[in-house]
Structure 1
């Protein structure tokens, strides 16, 4: 078997390899020049490139303008804060004083919001609900006033205690409201029984 492979290889080398006829490349270049002269070949891509080049330039300008605007917005200095009444100052809350007070504030606020969300408003309890809402709004205004005092004067024990008491009072007010709603629901039922 090894002899057969060697013989095949030797026979393959002896075969006449076909080559391109002499002058083939020159004839091809002449025919190419006749069909598409150099000026014509060069003119087509340049016409196409001019339109494409214009689009590249336009896109580059748009990108450059976008980057310039973005950099301007990023590096723009904030306006100077003046002492006019229109200036808004971030009001501190209990959470800004200490992490422990933040937990207390979050606890009361979550319970207040939960109790308000659980109230089922009906025509029978609307007047009662409105009176409690008015009282809650007064307590909220007082809480904001105390928060402003905390911001201006800094944390003090009386201010912090007043803020916590305000939250307790709001939550207790909502508990009383729920108790009155329960009484309203049970009162007509008891009247029908007797």
Structure 2
């Protein structure tokens, strides 16, 4: 039968149990050391924040071109958007449209070769665009500006043609699956 521990301990007295005279003082010191509110050290956080700031400044002020090219030379380069506000709007429209169309391309193993072929053509046109921009820096004329705009239009047209081809391939496969 289970025994109640209170009944067992009720009459027990330890005759050898004596506390030392400074027992209360020792107990109080142990409590203070164990439960002392710890100061949270944020020094590691300050170091990490400093590193992030230094990296950010390094990226911001790191020279983007060869060391031999000065900042003044970079500011002197003329782009299509620097000629007039209208041309800046046109350039921004086409570059944003081109980037959007590229981001919307569905890359699969089946259409990989087709997309790579188009992207190679677009890469060649991009190199030609840079060459035309250098020519624009030498002499600003209407022919160069027209060539730059035509280059942007051609790249966008190529991307739209690629998108149409991908859609027709996708539709033909869907028709094939429904027939089978």
Bucket of the pairwise TM-score, normalised by the shorter protein:
0.5 to 0.7
- The reply to whether residue 138 of structure 1 matches residue 124 of structure 2 is yes
Kindly state the Cα deviation for residue 192 of structure 1 after the two structures are TM-superposed: 3.2
Instruction: Give the alignment's TM-score, normalised by structure 2.
Output: 0.57
Task: Tell me the SS of whatever aligns to 1:92.
Answer: coil
Tell me the equivalent position of 1:179: 164
In the aligned structure 2, how far is the partner of 1:124 from the partner of 1:96?
42
Q: CA RMSD in A?
A: 1.4
Tell me how far apart the structure 2 counterparts of residues 107 and 131 of structure 1 sit (CA, whole Å): 24
* TM-score, scaled to structure 1: 0.53
2:143: which partner in 1? 158
Deviation string for 1:101-128 (max 9, x for gaps)? 0000000001001111111211111101
Question: 1:87 deviation in Å?
Answer: 4.3
2-side partners of 1:151 and 1:121: how far apart?
A: 37
CA drift at 1:187: 1.1
Residue 95 of structure 1: aligned partner = 81
**Structure 1 residue 168 and structure 2 residue 153: aligned?**
yes
Alignment size in residue pairs: 108
Please tell me whether Structure 1 or Structure 2 has the larger radius of gyration of its CA atoms: 1
Larger helix fraction of residues: 1
